[in-house]
A = this chain, B = another copy of it.
Amino acid sequence: MTLAPSLSKPEPMSTATLTVDLDAITANWRSLNAMTRSETGAVVKADAYGLGATRVGRALVHAGVRSFFVAVAEEGAALRQALGPAPAIYIFSGHMPGDTDMIGDLDLIPMINSLEQMIRQIEALPGHPFGLQLDTGMNRLGMEPNEWAALRDIALGQAPRLIMSHLACADEPDHPMNAQQLQTFLDMTAGINAPRSLSNTGGVLLGEDYHFEMTRPGIGLYGGLPFEHAHPVAAIEVPVIQCRTIEPGESVGYSQTFITDEPRRIATISAGYADGIIRALGPQMHAFADDVACPLAGRISMDLIGVDITALKSDPKTLDLLGPQQTIDMLADMAGTIGYEILTSLGARYARRYVGG
């Protein structure tokens, strides 16, 4: 026995494969970039929505992205290691206690959300770049109008790199909140020369009034709604462990939720809810053999799923759970959630294969 895997190990075959099309991500970025006259940044928080911030970030740098956005300083630190010193890395949560060394040493740009954060930034890192986040009605992150009124002159005297806010309803173009937030952002930033940013992917699609000097698409890069013309980015292919024929009266999986009344052929595949194939998908999703949709049989378990492959002419080696036949937004509808959560749930066990970039 040796404790290092042998160098001749072939491609893993017992875990599922998550393929990420980096060319599709950069094509999506270019499409969104072409819709505005602004700089187009890229949101790569939550490990690039679960798809891998290191590889996604490098591909986007090659495509021309100069500004990245992450949720917390730790994500910014990891991204800096991956991308080197050139790109700007903005931190939505701002400057939290304990973040000072990371922000300073790794040249991160905190988006300051409050008076408390502003004081921390100026005291701990005088002269270090920062941005400002304003609340225009979502009441999640950013300074309130009264806080901003008190702090505005001091903050602007420190030359902020970016002033931003975030839209609460941009995925619903007709929602009156969009225009309200736009007007509030215009009021709060009137007469200011610093670059401004209001729009996520949905905001880009709302039109020029929402674009300002920088946009920040996230989900659109990764192939999800509301960017209807996005290229699909992620695909999941799962190995079949074994196939069996079941007879009338037999059940499949936990708690006998699937009982057959005629002979069926069942494949057991090597993925489950620990891989983000969330249990709530069970009754509605399919596994695909090329274009043939095979219904699931029984509950999704942690590492395994039963699939009714009776319609297939022969036992398959693999089945597809995510791809052009069944997209992240289709899965989201089935599970009663949004495509964003389908992506961020995918988990760590996949063999990840990156193509393009």
In the complex, whether A153 has a CB less than 8 A from a CB of chain B is no
CB closest chain-B residue, reference A218: B302
By a CB distance below 8 angstroms, the chain B residues around A114 are 242
By a CB distance below 8 angstroms, the chain B residues around A96 are 13-14, 239, 241, 270
Chain A positions 75 through 117: 1 when the CB is less than 8 Å from some CB of chain B, otherwise 0: 1010011001100000111101111011001110000011011
CB closest chain-B residue, reference A99: B14
Given A242-B141, A273-B341, A341-B273, answer yes or no on A85-B1 (Cβ-Cβ < 8 Å).
Answer: yes
In the complex, whether A314 has a CB less than 8 A from a CB of chain B is no
Distance A279 CA – B343 CA, assembled complex (angstroms): 13
- B168–A92 CB distance below 8 A: no
In the complex, whether A15 has a CB less than 8 A from a CB of chain B is yes
Chain A interface extent, by class: 35 or more
Distance A251 CA – B169 CA, assembled complex (angstroms): 11
CB closest chain-B residue, reference A117: B242
CB closest chain-B residue, reference A270: B93
Distance A313 CA – B289 CA, assembled complex (angstroms): 58
Q: Which of A25-33, A66-74, A207-215 contacts B (4 or more CB under 8 A)?
A: A66-74
Q: Which of A2-10, A189-197, A227-235 contacts B (4 or more CB under 8 A)?
A: A2-10
Q: Which of A45-53, A57-65, A156-164, A322-330 contacts B (4 or more CB under 8 A)?
A: A45-53
CB closest chain-B residue, reference A8: B101
Distance A137 CA – B280 CA, assembled complex (angstroms): 24
Distance A50 CA – B134 CA, assembled complex (angstroms): 36
By a CB distance below 8 angstroms, the chain B residues around A135 are 244
By a CB distance below 8 angstroms, the chain B residues around A101 are 5-6, 8-10
By a CB distance below 8 angstroms, the chain B residues around A99 are 13-14
Partner of A105, one of B5, B10, B11, B72: B5
Q: Could you tell me the dominant secondary structure of chain A's interface residues? A: loop
- B302–A45 CB distance below 8 A: yes
Given A74-B15, A117-B242, A337-B279, answer yes or no on A253-B5 (Cβ-Cβ < 8 Å).
Answer: no
Partner of A340, one of B177, B253, B302: B302
Give the residues from 246 to 292 in chain A that come closer than 8 angstroms, CB to CB, to chain B.
246, 250-256, 266, 268, 270, 272-274, 278-280
Distance A2 CA – B102 CA, assembled complex (angstroms): 10
CB distance from A148 to the nearest CB of B (A): 12
- A13–B97 CB distance below 8 A: yes
CB distance from A344 to the nearest CB of B (A): 4
In the complex, whether A336 has a CB less than 8 A from a CB of chain B is yes
Distance A348 CA – B241 CA, assembled complex (angstroms): 27
CB distance from A227 to the nearest CB of B (A): 16
- A105–B6 CB distance below 8 A: yes
- B279–A280 CB distance below 8 A: no
Distance A217 CA – B85 CA, assembled complex (angstroms): 48
Partner of A302, one of B71, B105, B251: B71
Distance A113 CA – B9 CA, assembled complex (angstroms): 22
By a CB distance below 8 angstroms, the chain B residues around A140 are 252-253, 268, 298, 301, 304, 306
- B279–A168 CB distance below 8 A: no
The 8 tightest CB contacts between A and B, nearest first, are: A13-B98, A46-B274, A71-B303, A14-B96, A274-B344, A14-B72, A1-B107, A139-B252
Task: List 5 A-B residue pairs with CB atoms under 8 Å apart, sorted by A's residue number.
Answer: A3-B85, A14-B73, A15-B72, A168-B251, A168-B254
